[in-house]
Amino acid sequence: MTELQPGDRIRVTEPGDDGLPQVRYGWVGGMIGSTGPVVVMLDGELTRDIFDLERVELVTVTSLELVLSGEDLLDEPELRRGLVRMWQAEAEAAGLAFDVMQAFGDGIPDTAGYALGEVVTGGRPYILHAWAAPSDEHVVRVRAHPLGPLTP
Q: Domain spans of the chain? A: 9-58, 65-146
Are 127 and 62 in contact by the 8 Å Cβ rule? The answer is: no
DSSP letter assigned to residue 1: -
Phi, psi of 148 (to 5 degrees): 70, -175
Average pLDDT over residues 78-87: 93
For the chain, the farthest-separated pair of C-alpha atoms sits apart, in whole angstroms, at 49
The residue ranges of DSSP E strands in the chain, in sequence order, are 9-15, 21-31, 38-42, 49-51, 56-58, 65-69, 100-109, 113-121, 124-133, 136-146
Average pLDDT over residues 21-33: 87
Average pLDDT over residues 97-115: 91
| Global pTM value | 0.77
Percentages helix, strand, coil for the chain (3-state, rounded to 5) are 15, 50, 35
